[in-house]
Amino acid sequence: MDLPQRPFLALGLRIVSAFLFATLLVLVKYASQSGVALPEIMFWRQAVSVPLILGGLAMAGSLHRLKTQRLASHGKRALLGMTNMIFNFGAAILLLPAEATVLGFTTPLFAVVMAALLWREHIGPYRWLAVALGFLGVLVIAQPGSHVTSALGTGLGLLAAFFIAIINYQIRDLGRTEEPLATAFYFAAFGAPLAALALPFFYSPHSGEQWLVLLAIGLIGAVAQFLMAASLRFGAVTSVIVMDYTALIWATLYGWALWDELPSPMMWLGAPLIVVAGLVIAWREHRLGRRDAIKEDTHPELRA
């Protein structure tokens, strides 16, 4: 059953989600630099969410909101999500916050390529030009052959963007029957045991500050995940992902305030190309969506 769309609410939720995800990646980088291993960061990112959500719903007498008949779908979403977390957190550790964030903006480019190759969707010249422009921006930022930007970090960032393109549609599909809280809960419930498999090989004692950072990663990650799922429940994927670009502002400020580092001039040349490409794709998807809606209203038989 399709839910009523509330576009302004969806956009607002996505803006807050973008800010929290930028904060999350900065905390991941900080935790890693303090000596916490990536697998443990991933475990606590998920493990904190489970009791948090369960406790909140139990206090409100609303545990029934987690009822689902789509455990298999949640499991697939968690498997892809944990794989993406390796790429996303790895990029955050190896790159400046702004660089890792900008690479995440290539998600719409991968979405267009996937639509053409996997679903045989007709892609017009506007979107193909946008894809070419966006990947040109990636080349400008990465500067192949130079040592300005981590090649491994760039590769991980692009893999993360590719997986997010798939996950966005997974969450959108789950949102037709599941509440955002349920989507966030099952992601954590399936994801924490997967990450726990690596703990015996990577665990080390932590200071009080490190534990606070790990707790913050879990709390902020849970809220950001919930808000992202909620935005996709009330708005179309192609509309809400435009708000993800606001994360670049916060990522740049974090990099300057915490590490006294600003992105390179090449990043400022490449980033607008990626952002413009994403905006063109979002605009074109919106136009195509309106055109299809008009066709269905004019020709009801097309809905069959």
**39-53, 91-105, 112-126: which range is least confident on average?**
112-126
Q: Which of 27, 107, 74 is nearest to 184 (CA)?
A: 74
Hey, where are the domains in the chain? 7-303
Q: Per-residue pLDDT tens for 142-154?
A: 876 666 678 899 9
d(CA 69, CA 176): 13
Contact 241, 14 (CB under 8 A): yes
Lowest-confidence region among 92-96, 163-167, 169-173, 257-261: 169-173
> Of 73, 24, 249, nearest to 172 (Cα)?
73
CA 105, CA 71: separation in Å to the nearest integer?
30
Which of helix, strand or coil describes residue 6? coil
Token pair of 22 as six digits: 């930028």
Cα of 24 vs its chain's centroid, Å: 11
Mean of pLDDT over the chain: 86
Digit-coded pLDDT (tens) for 23-81: 999 999 999 999 999 999 999 999 998 998 898 889 989 898 899 889 999 999 999 99
Q: Does the pTM of the predicted model rise above 0.95?
A: no
- Mean pLDDT value of segment 137-164: 85
Token representation of residue 118: 């996997």
Q: Are 180 and 233 in contact (CB under 8 A)?
A: yes
Is the predicted pLDDT of residue 290 greater than 70, yes or no?
no
Token pair listed for 183: 């989507």
Please compute, for residue 242, the number of CA atoms within 13 A of its CA located in the half-sphere on the CB side: 20
Q: Are 211 and 40 in contact (CB under 8 A)?
A: no
pLDDT of residue 292: 56
At residue 301, does pLDDT exceed 50?
Answer: no
